[in-house]
């Protein structure tokens, strides 16, 4: 009896301690959201202000001066188009990798992973020059094309790990029913791979939405998505802290919402299918 009491007390302490650590990790995000609603005086006060009357000044400022709604639409167009293009190219390829005996398949899988490990900065310079040469510089298309390429290795590996789990008997049955190879993929495998497709779609959307490096050099002015605009707020004759934070919140809000939907597949996504959580 006493032992059980001690055990549940121990469990309570562990929940409290781990909960406190989780809260600590969430603090900077909460501090940013709070900061976006603080008045200039509260925000720049030397002593941290915990209780304040929320104001909307910074929000009015960013919509009035930085055309945030316009760049928000840019971000949405680029991210959605990239997600669709990545899935359209990635799903058949992942299916092929999962089901067919390709030449040197293990080497191919490793090369796909290596591709993902290339730091994007390593290809940013040549991509910039080539984009100018083919006349795609400063268009949404260039960001969609490049982000699709950079997200494809991820999509291939994660989707393959999902398709690997669908029993091959499904394929056989569909083939006996008279489906072509394409029909098997479309009518038999695709419906069962929906969780994997949703998982990849959310990840690709978030990664593309967050992308800053290419967006910062490939497009300018009207065409820019949100992240480079945040960068702009920082160098604009010192830092306009309030509007910068409000902008930071605008960028991060959809990401936080979508991330929470992903929790079940987080482990698998973040390790490209190498670890199934």
Question: From CA 43, how far away is CA 248, in angstroms rounded?
Answer: 15
C-alpha dist (Å) from residue 268 to 99, 109, 155, 196, 203? 20, 16, 11, 10, 11
For the segment 186-245, give every residue that binds another protein (CB under 8 A). 206, 209-210, 212-213, 217, 227, 230-231, 234, 239, 241, 244-245
Check binding of 113 to another protein (CB under 8 A): yes
* Interface residue with another protein, options 62, 68, 81, 97 (CB under 8 A): 97
* Interface residue with another protein, options 2, 135, 176, 238 (CB under 8 A): 176
Closer of 44 and 194 to another protein (Cβ) = 44
CB distance 69 to 63 below 8 Å? yes
Smallest separation (angstroms) from another protein to the CB of 276: 8
Q: In angstroms, how far is the first alpha carbon of the chain from the final one? A: 35
CB distance 255 to 212 below 8 Å? no
For the segment 20-79, give every residue that binds another protein (CB under 8 A). 21-22, 25-26, 28-29, 31-32, 35, 43-48
Smallest separation (angstroms) from another protein to the CB of 135: 16
Question: Which of the ranges 60-68, 76-84, 188-196, 258-266 carries the binding residues for another protein, by CB under 8 A?
Answer: 258-266
Question: From CA 183, how far away is CA 169, in angstroms rounded?
Answer: 15
- Of 226, 193, 234, residue with least CA distance to 210: 226
Buried b (16+ CB within 10 A) or exposed e, 152-174: bbbbbbbbbbbbeebeeeebeeb
Check binding of 9 to another protein (CB under 8 A): no
Check binding of 271 to another protein (CB under 8 A): yes
Check binding of 139 to another protein (CB under 8 A): no
Check binding of 114 to another protein (CB under 8 A): yes
């Amino acid at each position: 009896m006493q032992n059980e009491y001690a055990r549940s007390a121990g469990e309570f302490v562990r929940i409290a301690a781990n909960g406190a650590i989780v809260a600590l990790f969430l603090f900077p995000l909460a501090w940013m959201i709070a900061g976006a609603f603080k008045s200039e005086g509260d925000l720049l006060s030397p002593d941290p202000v915990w209780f304040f009357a929320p104001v909307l000044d910074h929000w009015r400022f960013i919509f009035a001066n930085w055309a945030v709604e316009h760049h928000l639409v840019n971000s949405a167009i680029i991210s959605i188009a990239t997600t669709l293009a990545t899935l359209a190219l990635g799903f058949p390829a992942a299916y092929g990798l999962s089901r067919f005996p390709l030449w040197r398949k293990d080497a191919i899988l490793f090369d796909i992973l290596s591709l993902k490990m290339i730091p994007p900065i390593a290809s940013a310079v040549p991509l910039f020059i080539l984009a100018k040469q083919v006349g795609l510089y400063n268009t949404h298309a260039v960001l969609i094309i490049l982000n699709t390429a950079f997200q494809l290795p991820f999509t291939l590996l994660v989707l393959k790990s999902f398709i690997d789990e669908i029993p091959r008997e499904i394929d056989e049955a569909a083939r006996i029913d008279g489906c072509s190879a394409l029909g098997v993929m479309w009518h038999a495998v695709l419906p069962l791979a929906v969780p994997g497709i949703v998982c990849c779609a959310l990840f690709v959307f978030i990664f593309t939405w967050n992308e800053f490096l290419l967006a910062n050099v490939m497009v300018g002015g009207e065409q820019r998505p949100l992240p480079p605009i945040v960068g702009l707020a920082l160098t604009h004759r010192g830092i306009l802290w309030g509007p910068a934070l409000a902008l930071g919140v605008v960028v991060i809000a959809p990401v936080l919402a979508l991330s929470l939907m992903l929790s079940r597949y987080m482990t698998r996504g973040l390790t490209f299918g190498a670890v199934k959580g």
